[in-house]
Amino acid sequence: MEITNIETIPGKTITTHYGLVCGSTVRSKNAFKDIGASFKNMFGGELKNYTRLLEETRQEAISRMIEQATAIGANAIVNVRFATSDIAAGAAEIYIYGTAVRVE
Amino acid sequence: MEDLIAWGIWISLFVFFYFIGTYREKAHLKSIVEREKALVSLPALTLKFAEDRPVVKTELVMGSVVIGGDFFKQTVASLASLFGMRISVAEAMMDRARREAVLRMKEKAAGADAILNVRMEGMKIGERNKITGIEALACGTAVYYSK
């Protein structure tokens, strides 16, 4: 599966468009880990727990999008976009969408 | 007397975290500048098309980081927001987060010739008015030209 965030896959031609595919994940923070984060927050610097959490969440959303694209017979996804939204206090949604295509 | 002690503790915390936060921020900026120099040969472009050369491989790359504010920054920010002032401590934090995200993206694209269509995104982390940290995400399409 080739994924890009531009309209084409450079060096290849798009033969079929399959339409929108997307993947989303909603994750909440771990209240226990958060105690450590709020302590670390006094000192500043990177909050590695949060970085890791968001990275995992994003990977999960991408793999859901890939799953959906594979199911309809696409071999590439172009023009991928990321969106995030706070849905509740301490929870966030990561949404990833793109256009599934077949390239040759 | 008790009030005085409470104020004393608060002010010493303020000063203590000012020095810690400043030290950590400077160390981070120094490492960012060094890594930016090392990665200058891999350009991150906001263009969708750069060179008319045959492409052998493309890949979606991204880098993200969550940077937290320190006690000093949070206090200054909440004071400054009373008067609608410019919050320069937060500006420095945003700058670090974005540059770090771009660097991580570049590090993931090691071996590529360019990164096209780089987009920056951000998210606030924290509840209501409190800013625990900010997330910066950079993503783009890494291209490998045929040699």
Per-residue model confidence as pLDDT tens digits over B38-54: 999 999 999 988 888 89
Count of beta carbons in the 10 Å neighbourhood of residue B94: 14
Residue A52 lies in a domain: no
Domain that residue A79 falls in? 2-28+57-103
Residue A50 lies in a domain: no
Those residues whose C-beta lies under 8 Å from the C-beta of residue B87, and which sit 6 or more positions away, are B76, B77, B80, B81
Q: All domains of chain B, ordered by start, with CATH? A: 2-145 (3.30.110.70)
Q: What are A's interface residues with B at a Cβ cutoff of 8 A?
A: 2-7, 9-11, 37-38, 40-48, 50-51, 54-55, 58, 80, 82, 84, 86, 89-90, 92
Q: Specify the pairing of strand B114-125 against strand A76-88.
A: unpaired
| Three-state DSSP state, B133 | strand
Q: Specify the pairing of strand B114-125 against strand B133-145.
A: antiparallel
- B126 vs B116: CA distance, rounded Å: 32
For residue A70, the domain's CATH number is 3.30.110.70
**For residue range A59-98, what is the model confidence (pLDDT) as tens digits?**
999 999 999 999 999 999 999 999 888 777 777 889 999 9
Residue A33 lies in a domain: no
Residue A90 lies in a domain: yes
What is the predicted ipTM? 0.86
Residue A78 lies in a domain: yes
pTM: 0.89
Those residues whose C-beta lies under 8 Å from the C-beta of residue B40, and which sit 6 or more positions away, are none
